[in-house]
Amino acid sequence: MTTLTSILDNDFYKFTMQFAVVKLFPKAKARYHFINRGEHKFPNGFGKLLEEAIQAMAKLKLTKAEKKFFSENCPYIDPTYFDFLEGYRYDPDEVIIQQNGTDLSVQIEGYWYRTILWEVPIMALICELYYTTTFQDRISDAAVIHIAKEKILKYDKLGVTIADFGTRRRHSYFVHNLVVETLKKYGKGTFIGSSNVHLAMVHQIKPIGTHAHEWFMFHAAKYGYKMANHLGLEHWSEVYRGDLGIALADTYTTDVFFKQFDKKLSKLFDGVRHDSGDALLFADKTIQHYVANGIDPLSKTITFSDGLDYEKVEKISTYCKGKIGYSFGIGTNFTNDAGVPAMNIVLKMTDAHPEEGEWTSVIKLSDEPKKHTGNDESIDLAKKTLMIED
């Protein structure tokens, strides 16, 4: 049976956001829905197997060793949070799974501080179970190691820094672990860490991440689209006081973000993360923004994380060299280059319920219009409010 073995087998930014939610929005609620972008066909009984794997997650709990590693590596997080996480248990009743023929439905609902941890592990389980139940054979362990080694050695020659961002759409836990082990072994000075906290602990590397789109999506539900980016970052800085300073820029398009990313925030945050749209155009806009605010772009960093492979990284790093700082987070290209097609799936927040408010649809306006998520009515309203034309 496919199961998770650690509560920390999740992306770092889920925990950093959870801490912020516990502090600032403990009564807020959220809903999430699975989106099968790749129109994958799920075999009979898949939903039941996924349900069993999710039921087993109720047994996961933070160990003393995990608590020690996590707290020592994140001194900017209050000790009370690690005590909270020690007592946290996944509640499978928050997840509703249905299968109709080859279609799979996954819905999550509950307090935001609780449901925030479900997204990444459920996606990882769906991928691993899919390959198992459709009898797709991957390449050998030796081949997985060879590919990961070749990639990190090429990145080393390029002189860039690379992190693993590949939990959610990995081939399997085993492959993910093998890849991280290989990247660490051959990527000294180039491979700087993993978004997966469990694997960061196993391999004694740095857990990496800040926040995700849902942080800003919730702020839009509570404060409106025009204030979402600004207040999202103000609240983040309230909690982290300058740590975890890479701001995600594309929840409501980059152009809107930079209008709300004022001089104070631009100086406070270490840089921005690129996650959709043209990477070189994004670099230009970021550099122009810093220059216009009297800030040396070389004192800031862009973390690129949108569907990267070697060719894209080489192109971006060549373009940005000498203009602005840069680093790269690589996901599926590391953890699902195993001889089978990678899945194209997401699990997104669709509705938020602030403490003083009501259930509100939330959306994301990507820099790639075809990647907008949410209902059409809310997307149209947001575009009108923010004066966005596709």
Contact 372, 48 (CB under 8 A): no
Domain ranges of the chain: 1-390
Query: What is the rounded CA–CA span in Å between residue 302 and residue 366?
Result: 17
The tens digit of pLDDT for each residue in 297-329 reads 999 999 999 999 999 999 999 999 999 999 999
The dihedral region occupied by 65, where left means phi > 0, alpha psi between -120 and 50, and beta the remainder, is alpha
pLDDT of residue 356: 87
pLDDT of residue 119: 98
> What secondary structure does DSSP assign to 166-229, as a single string?
-STT-S-HHHHHHHHHHHHHH-TTTEEEESBHHHHHHTT-EE-----HHHHHHHHHHH-HHHHH
pLDDT of residue 372: 86
CATH superfamily, region 1-390: nicotinate phosphoribosyltransferase (3.20.140.10)
pLDDT of residue 1: 66
Q: 3-class DSSP state for residue 37?
A: coil
CA-based nearest residue to 230, from 210, 247, 242? 247
Regions in the chain scoring below 50 on pLDDT = none
